[in-house]
């Protein structure tokens, strides 16, 4: 998959208020792994993505490659791109297998 | 409180004005902004939205995770406009009502020509119908059409009352006697080996007839165990041509006005909470019914406005069981 695209069948939204809270928690060093910031609705089921997953999801517009997405994420969290590349690839592969992302 | 803190995914219907009623639609993108900011998951544009000049701008506002559904009646001017719009970002609902004559039945030839025209525009429509006494018995014909022409989804929507485009009276809507007859014809239909499309049925009583015993794509029996009663003002809402928000298309009571107010403020307002409180009570005509914990009174908006003499019992219910 070069440029992942969100499955248009999936309805989703960013939980802005929660995202702000999670970003604040991140600044104070709190654990944020299990805090959802993006809600997805698929076949009547609601799913949540955490902050990192949600940011990756928002980048999956069919225009950006995995490298581009990893670059954006690295910039956002001020880390080396190489540190996040494998995480991005793994996450995208998981969502592709679920049918939430499609090949573009 | 904001909508983003609610667990319920909200669906809004929006009666989109058209030039025919002389509205320029200058505030439509502002209304759309308010809806998008509210975190609504599904927005259905009703009326003749394809003919409005602001439609493209509104499409741009919903260019996120919200699913936009646009109603079309298959008229040539609508198809011409559709050809000018972006192909992605919305789902088209083809209203079959205009293809049904209560005496002649479904005009499948004309319906097919519209479906073909939509396919040429790379658009795969969902066929929708508001079930009325006049058209209820043509539902199997529409399902045969879906099966024969690879229409993947069929939707029976709820009836609108008290708005600019529809004003169905109790005489237009199916009653329990109609449902008894429909049940028999449905049983006959199910003996055919017709490949049914995915069906979305708003009304609980119709759902019971048409979906009970059906299997999901995963082979599981359909159930509506998550049904918690009338969703007006909870996961359902309606915006009329003037931007006034109502609990549901079948409940003509103003809760607030867009874009003057935010959707979150309207949803947190007293008027909506009062509607939910009203829904939490049992309608007078349902007292003593052993099935009240199954149907929760059914469609409360229609019952409240069109069946006061029946103790605000659902129009499709024959009485307490």
Q: What is the pLDDT of residues B185-222, one digit of tens each?
A: 999 999 888 888 999 999 889 998 998 777 666 666 66
Residue for token pair 């490949």: B195
Q: Which among A8, A15, A39 has CB closest to B88?
A: A8
Pick among A13, A15, A20 to test the B interface (most B CBs inside 10 A): A13
pLDDT at B295: 86
- Burial (0-12, 13-18, 19+ Cβ within 10 Å), B317: buried
Span B218-234, pLDDT tens digits: 666 666 656 678 999 99
pLDDT at A96: 93
Q: Which among A17, A39, A44 has CB closest to B2?
A: A17
Chain A positions in Cβ-Cβ contact with residue B7 (cut-off 8 Å) = 46
Q: Which among B4, B7, B9 has CB closest to A16?
A: B4
- Burial (0-12, 13-18, 19+ Cβ within 10 Å), B120: exposed
Chain A positions in Cβ-Cβ contact with residue B264 (cut-off 8 Å) = none
Chain A positions in Cβ-Cβ contact with residue B8 (cut-off 8 Å) = none
Give the separation between CA A85 and CA B309, rounded to whole angstroms. 66
* Structural domains in chain A (count): 1
Chain A positions in Cβ-Cβ contact with residue B5 (cut-off 8 Å) = 15, 17-18
> Can the peptide bond before residue B259 be classed as cis, meaning omega within 30 degrees of 0?
yes
pLDDT at B8: 66
pLDDT at B23: 54
- What is the extent of the structural domain holding A30? 4-103
Contacts (Cβ under 8 Å, ≥6 apart) of A104: A1, A2, A3, A4, A5, A62
Q: What is the mean pLDDT of each run of 10 residues along chain B (321 residues)?
A: 52 78 66 90 92 88 87 95 87 96 92 96 95 94 95 92 71 90 93 88 91 69 70 92 91 93 93 94 90 88 86 86 83
Pick among B3, B4, B8 to test the A interface (most A CBs inside 10 A): B4
Q: Do the Cβ atoms of B249 and B12 come closer than 8 Å? A: no
pLDDT at B236: 93
Chain A positions in Cβ-Cβ contact with residue B211 (cut-off 8 Å) = none
CA B188 to chain centre: 26
Residue for token pair 């069946």: B307
Chain B positions in Cβ-Cβ contact with residue A12 (cut-off 8 Å) = 64-65
Give the separation between CA A38 and CA B277, rounded to whole angstroms. 30
Task: Name the nearest CA neighbour of B64 among A61, A29, A80.
Answer: A61
A62: DSSP letter? S
pLDDT at B188: 92
To the nearest whole number, what is the mean pLDDT of chain B? 87
pLDDT at B225: 59
Distance (Å) from the C-alpha of residue B42 to the closest C-alpha of chain A? 8
HEC per residue, chain B: CCHHHCCCCCEEEEEECCHHHCCCCCCHHHHHHHHHHCCCCEEEEEECHHHCCCHHHHHHHCCCCCEEEEEECCCHHHHHHHCCCCCCCCEEEEEHHHHEECCCEECHHHHHHHHHHHHHCCCCCEEEECCCCCCHHHHHHHHHHHHHCCCCEEEECCCCCCCCCCCCCCCCCCCHHHHHHHHHHHHHHCCCCCCCCEEEECCHHHHHHHHCCCECCCCCECCCCCCCCCCECCCEEEECCCCEEECECCECCCCEECCCCCHHHHHCCHHHHHHHHHHHCCCHHHCCCCCHHHHCCCCHHHHHHHCHHHCCCCCCCCCCC
Give the separation between CA A84 and CA A62, rounded to whole angstroms. 19
B12 beta partners: B43, B237
Instruction: Average the pLDDT over A6-11 and give the result.
Output: 88
- Structure-model confidence comparison of residues A104 and B11, the more confident one: B11
In terms of DSSP bridges, do strands B126-129 and B91-95 run parallel, antiparallel, or are they unpaired? parallel
Q: Which among B2, B5, B9 has CB closest to A46?
A: B9
In this structure, what CATH number is given to the domain that contains residue A28?
1.10.10.1150
pLDDT at B84: 92
Span A30-80, pLDDT tens digits: 888 888 889 898 877 888 899 999 999 999 989 999 999 999 999 988 889
Give the separation between CA B172 and CA B170, rounded to whole angstroms. 5
pLDDT at B226: 60
pLDDT at B160: 86
Distance (Å) from the C-alpha of residue B223 to the closest C-alpha of chain A? 12
Give the separation between CA A34 and CA B47, rounded to whole angstroms. 43
* Beta strands per DSSP E along chain A: 5-6, 11-14, 36-42, 45-50, 101-102
Q: Do the Cβ atoms of B1 and B264 come closer than 8 Å? A: yes
Give the separation between CA B23 and CA B32, rounded to whole angstroms. 16
Tokens of A38: 């993006």
- Burial (0-12, 13-18, 19+ Cβ within 10 Å), A70: buried
């Amino acid at each position: 998959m070069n440029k992942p695209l969100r499955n248009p069948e999936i309805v989703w939204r960013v939980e802005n208020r929660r995202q702000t809270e999670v970003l604040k928690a991140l600044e104070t060093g709190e654990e944020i792994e299990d805090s959802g910031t993006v809600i997805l609705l698929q076949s009547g089921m609601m799913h949540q993505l955490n902050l990192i997953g949600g940011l990756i999801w928002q980048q999956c517009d069919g225009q950006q490659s995995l490298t581009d997405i990893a670059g954006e994420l690295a910039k956002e969290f001020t880390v080396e791109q190489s540190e996040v590349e494998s995480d991005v690839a793994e996450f995208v592969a998981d969502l592709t297998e679920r049918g939430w992302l499609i090949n573009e | 409180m904001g909508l983003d803190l609610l667990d319920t995914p909200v669906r809004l219907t929006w009666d989109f004005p058209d030039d025919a009623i002389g509205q320029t639609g200058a505030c439509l993108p502002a209304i759309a902004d308010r809806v998008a900011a509210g975190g609504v998951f599904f927005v259905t544009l009703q009326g003749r939205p394809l003919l409005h000049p602001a439609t493209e701008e509104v499409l741009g506002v919903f260019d996120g995770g919200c699913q936009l559904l646009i109603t079309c009646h298959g008229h040539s001017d609508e198809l011409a406009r559709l050809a000018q719009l972006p192909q992605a970002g919305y789902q088209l609902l083809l209203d079959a009502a205009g293809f049904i004559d209560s005496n002649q039945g479904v005009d499948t030839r004309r319906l097919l020509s519209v479906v073909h025209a939509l396919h040429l525009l790379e658009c795969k429509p969902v066929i929708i119908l508001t079930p009325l006494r006049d058209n209820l018995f043509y539902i199997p014909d529409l399902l045969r059409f879906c099966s024969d022409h690879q229409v993947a989804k069929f939707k029976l929507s709820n009836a609108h009352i008290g708005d600019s485009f529809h004003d169905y009276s109790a005489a237009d809507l199916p009653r329990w006697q109609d449902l008894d007859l429909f049940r028999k014809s449905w049983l006959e239909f199910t003996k055919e080996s017709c490949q049914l499309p995915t069906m979305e049925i708003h009304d609980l009583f119709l759902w019971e007839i048409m979906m009970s015993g059906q299997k999901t794509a995963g082979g599981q029996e359909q159930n509506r165990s998550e049904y918690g009663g009338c969703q007006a003002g909870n996961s359902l809402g309606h915006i009329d041509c003037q931007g006034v928000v109502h609990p549901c298309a079948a409940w003509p009571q103003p809760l607030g006005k867009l874009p003057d107010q935010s959707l979150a403020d309207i949803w947190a307002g007293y008027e909506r909470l009062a509607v939910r409180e009203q829904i939490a009570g049992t309608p007078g005509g349902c007292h003593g019914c052993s099935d009240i914990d199954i149907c929760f009174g059914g469609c409360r908006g229609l019952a409240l406005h069109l069946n006061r003499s029946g103790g605000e019992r659902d129009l499709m219910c024959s009485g307490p069981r």
